[in-house]
């Protein structure tokens, strides 16, 4: 046990003392907020500098009309369509909308021309507008007056709540929990790769510097591996804590300087401008941050230990990082499936079957459960997922340990999957 | 070379009984039994791939034997013995990014020294080997020879009862090799036992008191160096002489003859009766003018090659 502590200490100190650690620890909290800040800034600039685009309209129908808006100025042009197209092409205008003579019951043949492929939202926006106009005409036809029509227009914003088992209400906002899940899930994804690769690198270094045989003559190979994996994890945790503190400080300082601007900017960046600031604060304070932080720590550690052991096993089996490539795929695949699963299933249907399974299977649960957590997950599912994750890392630790104990003593052997399987079953 | 007294001989630091080890298809050790006398320098000899490193790894508890027992100082080998063993593997290295001092303290602690003990011992060894100035240098900034000294210190700094050196002189420059030789002898004087594994026989001739030979996973020979040599004496003598030729006779045969300078010849004569060599000499004096008459003691190399290849040492002889 003492020796594991010694190894953890060495792993920790040798990494923390590196210049690259210092650099990453200081730069990341500076770079990430500046990238986000930069993006917000450009978005704001774009909004500010947005000029009215000209849309040419060849309207052969009298059912639909166009009214200039902040974004678009409509320019009526004459037909036929071919000449309108030619003229549009020569112009610098944004788009050409062609509306043939349509019947109110069968409004077909409307076309939209642009010089580049138009965004889906843009075309949808025109569709909605035309549908609305046609619906109004139909309603008028059935006898409604203009005033009645205006009265029909209602704008509704739904406020959603999470009803907990105790009956407490928490205001929820799927944008916020989406953001939370996205950030924490993605962070775990990144950490698995970054720190997993560090473990592998470390093992390969020990092997190539040939120190390893001296070390295993004093400690069991499994303990050496655990020491290394935990040592790197402690570097990760310390680095993460420093990041959080630094970012907190930077955020507060920048916030104090920019005042309201910063709050506005944060609203913009997560596209929740419509939610009034007070409500947003309600939502943010409504999130159980302690729970999220603790679960994040658990899933980060659990996922990292599970994969860290496997990365160590790969490192032990090869002589150079280049040789490691062939064994990386089976390790990377479940991590990537976890991330894809989070995007494809969790954000669409956080409590659906695929989301459930991906968040309890140990190989994907660290990423997927963090994605789900904000949407409210039953306690038993969290418990099941945690128990399975712990069981999972004991399993990979055992599996990796069996490869590691043989691998680290092998030099110059070309290792393939068949040989790895042989090592697994070999006696000590 | 001091020969151990009869009393000392009886106590062994390591007693290996009927060790077997098989790697998936390959049998690395087949029923090997050995005793390593306390305070000796023990040569573990054998060609590459014979099973020496496997045996050493088993003594170091890096791998386990499939069958058989090992006693360390009379007690079944266990984790507590790690503190008593110093090991310099054939594949040896150091953490390149670590400083000399940190590295020695770390390795000393892994062997069971406290931080303070490791610090003191590391420093005094560095002083002894005149490398105290490098204490704060990184390993990657050292020359290969300097790194070798650090490796040696890390092997002996915890004053182990048993020091295991696997091919210690491969890769060592001659100056370091000599230095290490002297240190090995000094450590033995202080009571340590040294096992040293090699396929290079010349180092064995000089240093070892005892030897064991392993070939193709089996022990084929062991005993004190004198005993072994005694065992492989074959009654042949180098004779230098002038004037005439040694004529064949029923009692002896002339294995080969060469002219070593003007008129001076050297023959290897095998005395078939194993009787008193004076008899042989008497017969030769009648034929030629004898300048020297020396028994050919087989070198370790001869015995080794003889046993490893199943050849007769006579045909191998110089």
Residue A98 CA to residue A61 CA, distance in Å, equals: 10
DSSP A33-49: HHHHHHHHHHHHHHHHH
User: For residue B165, what is the nearest residue in chain A, using CA coordinates?
Assistant: A214
β-bridge mates for residue B164, sequence order = B87, B195
Alpha helical stretches, state H, chain B: 6-10, 52-59, 100-110, 115-128, 144-156, 174-189, 201-207, 225-231, 277-285, 300-309, 313-316
- Chain A residues touching residue B154 (CB < 8 angstroms): 214
Cβ-defined contact of B92 to A427 (cutoff 8 Å): no
In this structure, is the dihedral angle defined by the CA atoms of residues A262, A265, A266 and A272, taken in order, positive or negative?
Answer: positive
Which token pair is B265?
């010849």
Each residue's pLDDT tens digit, A195-244: 999 999 999 988 888 888 899 999 988 999 999 999 999 998 898 888 88
Mean pLDDT of the region A43-66: 79
Q: Which residues of B2-21 are buried (b: 16+ CB within 10 A; e: fewer)?
A: eebeeeebeebbbbbeebeb
Number of other residues whose CB lies within 10 A of the CB of residue A248 = 11
Cβ-defined contact of B93 to A210 (cutoff 8 Å): yes
Cβ-defined contact of B91 to A215 (cutoff 8 Å): no
B237 touches chain A (CB under 8 A): no
What dihedral do alpha carbons B248, B254, B255, B257 form, nearest 10°?
-120
- Chain A residues touching residue B110 (CB < 8 angstroms): 3, 6, 215, 218-219
Residue A275 has pLDDT above 70, yes or no: no
Residue A173 has pLDDT above 70, yes or no: no
Residue B27 has pLDDT above 50, yes or no: yes
Q: Which residue has the higher pLDDT, A103 or B121?
A: B121
Mean pLDDT of the region A156-170: 63
Cβ-defined contact of B94 to A217 (cutoff 8 Å): no
In a 10 Å sphere around its CB, with 0-12 CB exposed, 13-18 middle and 19+ buried, how is residue A154 labelled? exposed
B74 touches chain A (CB under 8 A): no
Q: In terms of DSSP bridges, do strands B85-88 and B236-242 run parallel, antiparallel, or are they unpaired?
A: unpaired
pLDDT band for position A280 (cuts 50, 70, 90): low
Contacts with B, A 151-190, CB within 8 Å: none
Q: Which residue has the higher pLDDT, A398 or A79?
A: A398
Q: In terms of DSSP bridges, do strands A53-59 and A72-76 run parallel, antiparallel, or are they unpaired?
A: parallel
B107 touches chain A (CB under 8 A): yes
Residue B3 has pLDDT above 70, yes or no: no
Distance from the Cα of B282 to chain A's closest Cα (Å) equals 59
Averaged pLDDT of chain B: 85
Cβ-defined contact of B87 to A214 (cutoff 8 Å): yes
pLDDT band for position B298 (cuts 50, 70, 90): confident
Cβ-defined contact of B95 to A209 (cutoff 8 Å): yes
Lowest-pLDDT range of B24-33, B139-148, B272-281: B272-281
Is residue A263 within 8 A of residue A277, CB to CB? The reply is: yes
Mean pLDDT of the region B31-43: 91
Q: What is the CA radius of gyration of chain A?
A: 30
Each residue's pLDDT tens digit, B135-166: 999 998 988 888 888 999 999 999 999 999 98
Cβ-defined contact of B89 to A219 (cutoff 8 Å): no
pLDDT band for position A163 (cuts 50, 70, 90): low
Q: Which residue has the higher pLDDT, B71 or B245?
A: B71
Each residue's pLDDT tens digit, B81-126: 989 999 998 888 899 889 999 999 999 999 999 999 999 999 999 9
Distance from the Cα of A26 to chain B's closest Cα (Å) equals 22
- Chain A residues touching residue B57 (CB < 8 angstroms): 217, 409
What local confidence, expressed as pLDDT, does residue B50 receive?
84
User: For residue B87, what is the nearest residue in chain A, using CA coordinates?
Assistant: A214
What local confidence, expressed as pLDDT, does residue A160 receive?
66
- Whether this prediction's pTM lies above 0.90 is answered by no
Q: Is B158 helix (H, G, I), strand (E, B) or coil?
A: coil
Q: Is B65 helix (H, G, I), strand (E, B) or coil?
A: coil
Q: Which residue has the higher pLDDT, B315 or B208?
A: B208
Cβ-defined contact of A213 to B91 (cutoff 8 Å): yes
Element (H, E) at B264: strand B264-271
In a 10 Å sphere around its CB, with 0-12 CB exposed, 13-18 middle and 19+ buried, how is residue B89 labelled? buried
Number of other residues whose CB lies within 10 A of the CB of residue A222 = 19
- Chain B residues touching residue A3 (CB < 8 angstroms): 110
Integer angstrom CA distances of residue A375 from A207, A274, A350, A363: 45, 20, 7, 21
Q: Which residue has the tokens 């001092």?
A: B101
pLDDT band for position A272 (cuts 50, 70, 90): very low
Which residue from B82, B94, B110 is facing A209, i.e. has the nearest CB?
B94
| 8-state DSSP, A376 | -
Cis bond before residue A312 (omega within 30° of 0): no
User: For residue B60, what is the nearest residue in chain A, using CA coordinates?
Assistant: A217
Cβ-defined contact of B85 to A210 (cutoff 8 Å): no
β-bridge mates for residue B85, sequence order = B162
- Chain B residues touching residue A203 (CB < 8 angstroms): none
β-bridge mates for residue B87, sequence order = B164
Integer angstrom CA distances of residue A239 from A6, A121, A299, A324, B28: 20, 41, 17, 26, 47
B66 touches chain A (CB under 8 A): yes
Each residue's pLDDT tens digit, A222-235: 999 999 999 999 99
What local confidence, expressed as pLDDT, does residue A167 receive?
56
Which residue from A10, A14, A217 is facing B87, i.e. has the nearest CB?
A217
pLDDT band for position A292 (cuts 50, 70, 90): confident
What local confidence, expressed as pLDDT, does residue B299 receive?
80
Cβ-defined contact of B82 to A422 (cutoff 8 Å): no
Residue A163 CA to residue A250 CA, distance in Å, equals: 35
A10 touches chain B (CB under 8 A): yes
In this structure, is the dihedral angle defined by the CA atoms of residues A395, A398, A399 and A401, taken in order, positive or negative?
Answer: positive
Number of other residues whose CB lies within 10 A of the CB of residue A234 = 16
DSSP B297-314: PPPHHHHHHHHHHT--HH
Half-sphere exposure of B242 (CA within 13 A, CB side): 5
Please tell me the total number of residues recorded for chain B in this structure: 318
Mean pLDDT of the region B246-250: 81
Number of other residues whose CB lies within 10 A of the CB of residue A401 = 20
Cβ-defined contact of A218 to B154 (cutoff 8 Å): no
B251 touches chain A (CB under 8 A): no
Q: Which residue has the tokens 């370790």?
A: B300
Q: What are the backbone angles phi and psi of residue B267, rounded to the nearest 5°? A: -120, 150
What local confidence, expressed as pLDDT, does residue A11 receive?
92
């Amino acid at each position: 046990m003492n020796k594991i502590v010694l190894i953890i200490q060495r792993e920790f100190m040798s990494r923390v003392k590196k210049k690259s650690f210092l650099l990453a620890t200081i730069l990341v909290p500076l770079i990430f907020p500046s990238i986000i800040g930069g993006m917000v800034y450009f978005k704001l600039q774009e909004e500010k500098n947005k000029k009215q685009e000209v849309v040419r309209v060849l309207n052969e129908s009298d059912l639909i009309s166009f009214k200039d808006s902040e974004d678009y100025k409509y320019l009526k042009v004459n037909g036929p369509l071919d000449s309108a197209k030619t003229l549009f092409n020569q112009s610098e205008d944004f788009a050409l909308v062609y509306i043939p003579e349509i019947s109110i019951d069968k409004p077909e043949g409307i076309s939209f021309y642009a010089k580049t492929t138009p965004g889906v939202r843009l075309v949808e926006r025109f569709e909605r507008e035309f549908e609305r106009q046609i619906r109004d005409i139909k309603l008028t036809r059935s006898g409604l007056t203009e005033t009645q029509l205006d009265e029909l227009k209602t704008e509704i914003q739904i406020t959603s709540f999470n009803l907990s088992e105790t009956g407490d209400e928490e205001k929820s906002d799927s944008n916020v929990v989406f953001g939370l899940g996205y950030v924490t899930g993605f962070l775990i994804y990144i950490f698995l790769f970054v720190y997993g690769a560090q473990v592998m690198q470390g093992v390969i270094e020990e092997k190539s510097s040939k120190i390893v045989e001296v070390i295993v003559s004093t400690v069991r190979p499994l303990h050496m591996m655990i020491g290394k994996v935990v040592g790197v994890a402690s570097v990760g945790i310390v680095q993460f804590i420093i990041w959080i503190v630094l970012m907190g400080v930077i955020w507060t300082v920048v916030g104090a300087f920019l005042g309201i601007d910063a709050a506005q900017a944060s609203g913009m960046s997560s596209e929740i401008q419509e939610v009034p600031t007070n409500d947003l604060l309600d939502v943010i304070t409504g999130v159980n941050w302690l729970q999220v932080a603790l679960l994040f720590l658990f899933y980060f550690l659990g996922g990292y230990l599970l994969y860290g052991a496997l990365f160590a096993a790969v490192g032990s089996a090869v002589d150079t990082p280049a040789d490691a490539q062939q064994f990386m795929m089976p390790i990377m695949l479940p991590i990537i499936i976890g991330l894809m699963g989070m995007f494809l299933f969790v954000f669409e249907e956080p409590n659906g079957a695929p989301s459930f399974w991906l968040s309890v299977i140990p190989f994907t649960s660290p990423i997927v459960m963090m994605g789900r957590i904000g949407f409210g997950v039953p306690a038993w599912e969290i418990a099941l997922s945690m128990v399975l994750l712990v069981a999972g890392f004991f399993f990979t630790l055992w599996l990796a340990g069996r490869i590691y104990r043989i691998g680290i003593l092998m030099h110059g052997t070309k290792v393939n999957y068949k040989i790895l399987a042989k090592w697994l079953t070999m006696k000590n | 070379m001091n020969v151990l007294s009869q009393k000392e001989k009886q106590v062994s630091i390591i007693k290996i009984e009927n060790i077997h080890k098989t790697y998936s298809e390959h049998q690395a050790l087949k029923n090997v039994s050995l005793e390593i006398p306390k305070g000796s320098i023990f040569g573990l000899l054998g060609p590459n791939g014979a099973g020496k490193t496997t045996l050493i790894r088993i003594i170091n508890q890096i791998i386990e034997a499939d069958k058989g027992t090992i006693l360390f100082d009379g007690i079944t080998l266990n984790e507590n013995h790690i503190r008593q063993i110093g090991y310099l593997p054939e594949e040896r290295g150091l953490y390149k990014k670590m400083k000399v001092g940190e590295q020695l303290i770390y390795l000393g602690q892994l062997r069971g020294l406290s931080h303070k003990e490791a610090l003191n011992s590391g420093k005094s060894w560095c002083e002894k080997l005149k490398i105290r100035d490098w204490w704060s240098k990184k390993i990657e900034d050292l020359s290969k020879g300097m790194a070798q000294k650090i490796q040696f210190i890390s092997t002996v700094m915890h004053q182990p009862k048993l020091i295991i050196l696997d091919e210690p002189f491969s890769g060592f420059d001659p100056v370091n090799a000599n230095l290490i030789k002297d240190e090995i002898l000094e450590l033995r004087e202080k009571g340590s036992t040294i096992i040293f594994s090699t396929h290079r026989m010349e180092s064995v001739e000089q240093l070892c008191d005892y030897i064991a030979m392993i070939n193709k996973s089996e022990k084929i020979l062991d005993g004190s160096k004198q005993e072994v040599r005694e065992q492989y004496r074959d009654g042949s003598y180098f004779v230098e002489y002038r004037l005439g030729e040694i004529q064949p006779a029923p009692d002896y045969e002339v294995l080969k003859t060469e002219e070593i300078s003007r008129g001076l010849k050297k023959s290897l004569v095998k005395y078939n009766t194993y009787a008193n060599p004076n008899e042989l000499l008497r017969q030769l004096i009648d034929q030629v003018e004898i300048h020297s008459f020396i028994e050919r003691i087989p070198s370790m190399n001869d015995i080794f090659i003889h046993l490893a290849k199943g050849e007769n040492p006579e045909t191998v002889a110089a």
